[in-house]
Amino acid sequence: MQGIVIRSTGAWYEVRNPDKSVVSCRLRGKFKLQDLKVTNPIAVGDKVIWEWEKDQKTGIITEILPRENYIIRKSVHKTAHAHLIATNLDQAIIIATLVAPRTSFGFIDRFLVSAEAFRIPAVIVFNKADLLDKEALQYQAEIMQVYAEIGYTCLQTSVITREGVSEFEKILHNKVSLLSGHSGVGKSSLINAINPALNLKTGEISTFSLKGKHTTTFAEMFEIAENTFIIDTPGIKELGLAEIEENEISHYFPEMRKYLGECKFGASCMHTHETGCKVLEALENGEIALFRYESYLSMLADEDNRR
């Protein structure tokens, strides 16, 4: 039988069948792994073949069907292991907040670069708009403008006032969407906002650190409408780039991509100090936002540290 993994807790995988029934499965002891160095062999979104155990109550996964794509998370510090967040995605949505907690541009941009690397369309949702004063809203609008010009769909939302909630629901339509972001940004709350019946657990923000408390502990896929799936995930602190070479990073900045090959030193240009660099020229002209360029530099630095 064929199904799709909707939840994984380590030893057990919940597999959803075409008739919408769900069966708990384990992995067959000897399992042919795909060519990926990851801590988890199977992730939410995987399409698998399974068969009944003798008891006819639980199942055994015998095969993973080839993945269309995946999002992987690598620790910035620990380089050996990567973790599959989800697979077979139509889009990857990062939920960001300027405050409570603060999401850095570096984090947003790492997420976008990962999505670009796996050719998954990315969306940025700026949640908790109700917490921003006029000045902060103005600032956020400018940031959203930068990302929109690069080509990313951006939304401003608030679970409290319901601003942007129906737009959020619209972009999910007929797709498999991953929701990711720091703990406490409101991933589970946004899903509840469009589908209260799911009643997902949400957690207070620590008044001391203004950070979330890692309320969601396992990734899980929900069908929120016919043929519309959303994957809620545990908050992540940091996002190292997996499987991306130093000289490839600029390929995943769409606003830099158009200048690549035009630099004086061609493909060997790292766009940091070289004379005749078109990326640096575009930065000076204001065509590339300084905060995006700084994210690029910090990603280069990560790669350096890893060596």
Separation CA 199–CA 72 (nearest Å): 27
Asked whether position 189 contacts Mg ion by CB under 5 A, the answer is: no
* Selected range binding ligand GTP among 22-30, 165-173, 213-221, 243-251, rule: CB under 6 A: 213-221
Asked whether position 114 contacts Mg ion by CB under 5 A, the answer is: no
Among candidate residues 67, 74, 109, the one with its CA nearest the CA of residue 88:
67
β partners of residue 52: 59
Q: At how many degrees (to 10) do helices 165-172 and 187-194 cross?
A: 90
Q: Choose, by CB under 6 A, the member of 235, 256, 269, 283 that binds ligand GTP.
A: 235
Residue 223, number of CB atoms within 10 A of its CB: 15
Asked whether position 137 contacts ligand GTP by CB under 6 A, the answer is: no
Smaller CB separation from Zn ion, 44 or 263: 263
Q: Choose, by CB under 6 A, the member of 36, 49, 60, 131 that binds ligand GTP.
A: 131
AA letter at 69: N
**Helix (H, G, I), strand (E, B), or coil: what is residue 153?**
strand
Smaller CB separation from Zn ion, 129 or 279: 279
Asked whether position 198 contacts ligand GTP by CB under 6 A, the answer is: no
State the distance between the two ends of the chain, measured CA to CA, in whole angstroms.
Answer: 44
Least distance from C-beta 68 to Zn ion, angstroms? 32
154 to 193, contacts with ligand GTP by CB under 6 A?
A: 158-160, 183-189
21 to 60, contacts with ligand GTP by CB under 6 A?
A: none
Least distance from C-beta 245 to Zn ion, angstroms? 16
Smaller CB separation from ligand GTP, 16 or 214: 214
Q: Choose, by CB under 5 A, the member of 230, 279, 283, 299 that binds Zn ion.
A: 279
E strands, the chain, are 2-8, 13-16, 22-27, 47-52, 59-64, 70-74, 82-87, 91-96, 122-126, 153-156, 176-180, 220-225, 228-232
Look at residue 183 and give the partner it binds from Mg ion, Zn ion, ligand GTP, none, a contact being a CB closer than 5 to 8 Å depending on partner kind.
Answer: ligand GTP
In the shown chain, the binding pattern of residues 209 to 228 toward Mg ion, with x for contact by CB under 5 A and - for none, equals ------xx------------
Q: Choose, by CB under 5 A, the member of 87, 88, 180, 188 that binds Mg ion.
A: 188
**Helix (H, G, I), strand (E, B), or coil: what is residue 46?**
coil
110-122 core/surface letters (b: 16 or more CB in 10 A; e: else): bbbbbbbbbebbb
300 to 72, 169, 236, 241: CA distances (angstroms): 18, 36, 21, 10
β partners of residue 87: 70
Look at residue 269 and give the partner it binds from Zn ion, Mg ion, ligand GTP, none, a contact being a CB closer than 5 to 8 Å depending on partner kind.
Answer: Zn ion
Q: Choose, by CB under 5 A, the member of 7, 128, 271, 292 that binds Zn ion.
A: 271
Asked whether position 202 contacts ligand GTP by CB under 6 A, the answer is: yes
- Give counts: helices (H), strands (E), the chain: 7, 13
Asked whether position 157 contacts Mg ion by CB under 5 A, the answer is: no
Contact footprint for Zn ion (CB under 5 A): 263, 269, 271, 277, 279
Contact footprint for Mg ion (CB under 5 A): 187-188, 215-216
Contact footprint for ligand GTP (CB under 6 A): 127-128, 130-131, 158-160, 183-189, 202-205, 212, 214-216, 234-235
